[in-house]
Chain A
Amino acid sequence: GAVVSQHPSRVICKSGTSVKIECRSLDFQATTMFWYRQFPKKSLMLMATSNEGSKATYEQGVEKDKFLINHASLTLSTLTVTSAHPEDSSFYICSARWNAVKETQYFGPGTRLLVL
Chain B
Amino acid sequence: GQNIDQPTEMTATEGAIVQINCTYQTSGFNGLFWYQQHAGEAPTFLSYNVLDGLEEKGRFSSFLSRSKGYSYLLLKELQMKDSASYLCAVMDSNYQLIWGAGTKLIIKP
Contact A43 B87 (CB under 8 A): yes
Q: With A and B bound together, what is the CA distance between A116 and B30 in angstroms? A: 41
Asked if B84 is an interface residue, CB under 8 A from chain A, the answer is no
A42-B101, A44-B99 are known contacts. Are A102 and B42 too (CB-CB below 8 A)? no
Contact A103 B91 (CB under 8 A): yes
Minimum C-beta distance from A43 to chain B (A): 5
- Residues of A close to B41: CB separation below 8 A: 109-110
Q: What is the 8 Å Cβ interface bit string for chain A, positions 98-114, against chain B (1 contact, 0 not)?
A: 00001101011110100
A102-B30, A109-B41 are known contacts. Are A46 and B100 too (CB-CB below 8 A)? no
Asked if A77 is an interface residue, CB under 8 A from chain B, the answer is no
**Interface residues on chain A, number (Cβ under 8 Å):** 19
Q: With A and B bound together, what is the CA distance between A49 and B96 in angstroms? A: 9
Main secondary structure of the interface of B (DSSP, over half): loop
Asked if B31 is an interface residue, CB under 8 A from chain A, the answer is yes
- Residues of B close to A49: CB separation below 8 A: 96
Contact A107 B42 (CB under 8 A): yes
Q: What is the 8 Å Cβ interface bit string for chain A, positions 57-85, against chain B (1 contact, 0 not)?
A: 00000000000000000000000000000
A107-B42, A107-B43, A110-B41 are known contacts. Are A43 and B96 too (CB-CB below 8 A)? no
Asked if A93 is an interface residue, CB under 8 A from chain B, the answer is yes
Residue of A nearest to B98 (CB): A46
Contacting residue for B40 out of A103, A108, A112, CB 8 A? A112
Contact A43 B50 (CB under 8 A): no
- Residues of A close to B91: CB separation below 8 A: 102-103
Contact B48 A103 (CB under 8 A): yes
A44-B87, A107-B42, A109-B42 are known contacts. Are A102 and B95 too (CB-CB below 8 A)? yes
Q: List which A31-51 residues lie within 8 A (CB) of chain B.
A: 34, 41-46, 49
Ordered by A's residue number, 17 sampled pairs between the chains whose C-beta atoms are within 8 Å are A34-B96, A34-B97, A43-B99, A43-B100, A43-B101, A44-B43, A44-B87, A44-B99, A46-B97, A103-B30, A103-B31, A103-B48, A103-B50, A107-B44, A107-B45, A110-B41, A112-B40
